[in-house]
Structure 1
Amino acid sequence: MQWNDTMKQLMGKATELVRNGRLAEATHAIQQALGNPAPAPQTRPDAAAPSAAPAAARWRPPVVPDIEDAVLVEPRAKAVREATSARVAAAAPPPDPAAATSTAPVAEPAPQPTAGKAAAHPHAEAPGSFTRVAFRHPGVGQGVHHYHLYVPPGAGAGTPMPLVVMLHGCTQNPVDFATGTRMNSAAAPANTLVLYPEQPQSANPNGCWNWFRPEDQHRGRGEPGLLVAMVRDVMARHPVDEGRVYAAGLSAGGAMAALLGREYPDVFAAVGVHSGLQAGAAHNVMAALSAMKSGAKPSARGTPVAAPGQRVVPLIVFHGDADATVHARNGEQVIHAAMGAGAGAGAQGPVDKRVEQGRSPAGQACTRTVYRQGASSAAGPAMAEHWVLHGGGHAWAGGSPQGSHTDPGGVSATAEMLRFFLEHRR
């Protein structure tokens, strides 16, 4: 893409519109800058709205690409976010003035289902507890940070448990993401803790993880440092198996999960990236928009996912091949970066690559490519798995329609990610 004067003017206009809160117009301006003109903001279709159409129709991509990591507030996702935030606020106890200065974690109950509405809160139906926790981390920001934590009913036995970190996408929050992915229900029988970090709008107006900012891309700094501090906080309060800590995310959350795998191979045993981008795909907003539209540039694709001799974190990737928000090429690049790093990290033996075709129970076609390394690779856990969801858009495959950015007709990304995670130890 040539960043000519016209595009720079349009991007400047978009930035000013964001500052003034005119997000729909800003989205339109950015799409013009990227050479993908959109309908006027007032006629933009709601890409994620529930539909009574057949499942195959629901898998078609949105008519208008969303530039979610810069300016988009998608209508339905915004409504879900605001509604779930309101439920959290209503269910929480009165604010504790001491929380603003204390470093001790503060637990708040997550919203409980009301009569007749339990189906709208699959996370609450899972046995165990789901609480909102506040704590201060001196390395990032000036206020109290929050996360939600699911604790399975078997936690009382004192046996060290696996821990999965789930990073929501833009315009989402932990309750919405837990609802949409149904991860708590999947984690309960596996006696697994699930941590949902919360990105405040003070850090990003749309609640995106800032995967494209240099200050949020390195170990011990910015958001990666904050997220690992949350992991350490959970470890201090619950028996966690430190060899079985995992990270997964959707879109911006998936890009941040990839960064965590690159920066903290000594913390995370495996990583899942759903509709995301490779670590280091961009280092500013304009490069992020370009990567989302067509994949990372060659200079970014050369970014190593592991230092020489460093452990390469096993990886599972899901991406719809009709994703109009984050191009499916990004999923390929996540895999290629990891496999290239594995080859350069002294891994033993040739790579065995196996391709399988399948369908979800609802009929969505998918291609699964499994990578294993070594002469006896067929019997061992995979280094990487790449799931291409044919006809799939920018949505969590197999998720609940009660959450935002989900495709209920797809293969269950939640079940497959958890299965992949639990096959790996650090």
Structure 2
Amino acid sequence: METPLGVAIEEAMRLAREQDPTEATRVLLQRLSGNRLPDSGAPGAEASTTRVRAPLAESLARLRSGELPNFGLSADALARLGKRPTVHVPEGASYLSRTFSCQAGVRPYKVYVPSRSRGARAPLILMLHGCTQNADDFAVGTGMNLLAEQHGFIVAYPEQPMTANQLGCWNWFSEKDQRRDSGEPSIIAGLTRFLISEMNLDHERVFVAGLSAGGAMADVMSVSYPDLYAAAGIHSGLAYGVAKDQASAFVAMSGKSSDRHPRRANIRARTVIFHGKSDAKVHPSNADHILSEARAGVSGIYRESTHRGTSNGLEYDRTVVVDARGVSQLEYWAIDGLGHAWSGGSRDGSHTEQRGPDASREMLRFFLEG
């Protein structure tokens, strides 16, 4: 016999397949909370957002307690869901909470401005968190603010609200969210351009990086906006165009997708890839796919080499593709014993592994040497 929750889940999945994740979230949260939520298209965004918050908080509490099904979330992810770690801000630095809006939508974001100012034209890195994460969690887990303090660059952390995706995932698998000037790519690119203009940043040193769903969206940005981003860092992510809906996304994550060349991009940003060989959530073959697609995008004569190494207790294979000028266009770090976690991260953040190469530091090196 069908349960009300089961019917709601089926309806939410149908809406997700029809590229309407916001409405899918509304339907699911209505059933979870037991309250009627406002229609997603209703006027008065501020009033609608206020009414959603209380039922959502109640639903999260019920999920953590086991009163409701957890949809496959780990105990650690459930414990952290909706919570924010404390972000240390040195004297003279700032970590600002803001909101960006454009025709495509509205997203909250955090921006870190280091105390050690290098003057105008500083570099910018956009960091896209993974599912169940938020800006503060990702900032603490990756340690990117610490590197910004050392090297004098700006870091921005756009956030995906649960009203856009029930687990706070970037909708990298949605057709409308894989195109230039459409959906979430348009919002992220718009925020990037706004920060470049507002802070007088170096438009030639703008980068994007992400983990898991954020890594997949970073690849979307790399392909869709190669004129905006000089390089992309993809950690435990998936290739641009490998999925067209939620169902095909799960197939791709499992490594069973039969369509391995859905959209080949002739032009893309320089790319550095990190992936754990023991990743059970996003199969390592997805990194191989990104490598293949990125390699095809390298123009002219290039040289490729792979070497074996050890860093902070984990072994890895590092593949480097260098162009005729000797500049690295592509790197792939395949790390032994690493699961679905940010390599060399802090235990104070979620989805991190303290062992292994320092992904944040290596990404920054790759970004700046281009």
TM-score by length of 2: 0.79
Instruction: State whether residues 268 and 297 of structure 2, in contact with CA within 8 Å, keep that contact through their aligned partners in structure 1.
Output: yes
Q: Show the counterpart of 1:242.
A: 203
Gaps of 5+ in 1: 1-8, 23-67, 88-112, 114-120
1:147 corresponds to 2:112 = no
Shift of 1:136: 2.2
* Distance (Å, rounded) in 2 between the aligned partners of 1:124 and 1:80: 21
Q: Show the counterpart of 1:60.
A: none
Shift of 1:126: 8.4
Shift of 1:137: 1.6
Q: Show the counterpart of 1:130.
A: 95
The one-letter amino acid of 1:407's match is: E
1:293 corresponds to 2:254 = yes
The one-letter amino acid of 1:76's match is: D
Q: Show the counterpart of 1:322.
A: 278
Figure out how many residues of one structure are paired with residues of the other and give that number: 314
Q: Show the counterpart of 2:317.
A: 367
CA pair 127-273 structure 1, distance change in 2 beyond 3 A? farther
Shift of 1:335: 0.7
Deviations 1:367-425 (A, max 9, x none): 10101122xx5xx221100000101100000000000000001210000000001112x
Shift of 1:295: 5.0
Return the match for 2:159 from 198, 220, 232.
198
CA pair 296-164 structure 1, distance change in 2 beyond 3 A? farther
Deviations 1:151-177 (A, max 9, x none): 11233x532000000000000000000
Q: Show the counterpart of 1:214.
A: 175
* Distance (Å, rounded) in 1 between the aligned partners of 2:139 and 2:72: 22
Q: Show the counterpart of 2:361.
A: 415
Q: Show the counterpart of 1:303.
A: 263
The one-letter amino acid of 2:104's match is: G
* Distance (Å, rounded) in 1 between the aligned partners of 2:340 and 2:306: 23
Return the match for 1:338 from 294, 297, 302.
294
* Distance (Å, rounded) in 2 between the aligned partners of 1:335 and 1:145: 30
Q: Show the counterpart of 1:383.
A: 329
Identity %: 38
1:416 alignment partner, SS class: helix
* Distance (Å, rounded) in 1 between the aligned partners of 2:75 and 2:89: 25
CA pair 127-401 structure 1, distance change in 2 beyond 3 A? farther
Deviations 1:167-195 (A, max 9, x none): 00000000000000000101212111001
2:243 alignment partner, SS class: coil
Q: How does 1:3-402 map to 2 (within 5 A)?
A: 12=10, 15=13, 19=28, 20-21=31-32, 71-84=71-84, 121=87, 123-125=88-90, 128-140=93-105, 144-155=106-117, 158-298=119-259, 300-306=260-266, 311-342=267-298, 347-349=299-301, 351-361=302-312, 363-374=313-324, 377=325, 380-402=326-348
* Distance (Å, rounded) in 1 between the aligned partners of 2:296 and 2:125: 26
* Distance (Å, rounded) in 1 between the aligned partners of 2:32 and 2:72: 11
* Distance (Å, rounded) in 2 between the aligned partners of 1:382 and 1:81: 38
Calculate the aligned-residue CA RMSD, in Å: 2.4
CA pair 396-295 structure 1, distance change in 2 beyond 3 A? farther
* Distance (Å, rounded) in 1 between the aligned partners of 2:282 and 2:192: 28
Instruction: State whether residues 131 and 212 of structure 2, in contact with CA within 8 Å, keep that contact through their aligned partners in structure 1.
Output: yes
Q: Show the counterpart of 2:19.
A: none
* Distance (Å, rounded) in 2 between the aligned partners of 1:302 and 1:255: 15
TM-score by length of 1: 0.69
The one-letter amino acid of 2:295's match is: M
CA pair 357-208 structure 1, distance change in 2 beyond 3 A? same
* Distance (Å, rounded) in 1 between the aligned partners of 2:271 and 2:96: 28
Gaps of 5+ in 2: 1-6, 15-23, 34-69
Deviations 1:101-149 (A, max 9, x none): xxxxxxxxxxxx5xxxxxxx4x535862111112322222xxx421100
* Distance (Å, rounded) in 2 between the aligned partners of 1:422 and 1:295: 35
* Distance (Å, rounded) in 2 between the aligned partners of 1:149 and 1:246: 14
* Distance (Å, rounded) in 2 between the aligned partners of 1:358 and 1:409: 14
2:208 alignment partner, SS class: strand
Instruction: State whether residues 167 and 253 of structure 1, in contact with CA within 8 Å, keep that contact through their aligned partners in structure 2.
Output: yes
1:161 alignment partner, SS class: coil
CA pair 207-360 structure 1, distance change in 2 beyond 3 A? same
Deviations 1:254-280 (A, max 9, x none): 000000000001000000100000000
* Distance (Å, rounded) in 1 between the aligned partners of 2:32 and 2:99: 29
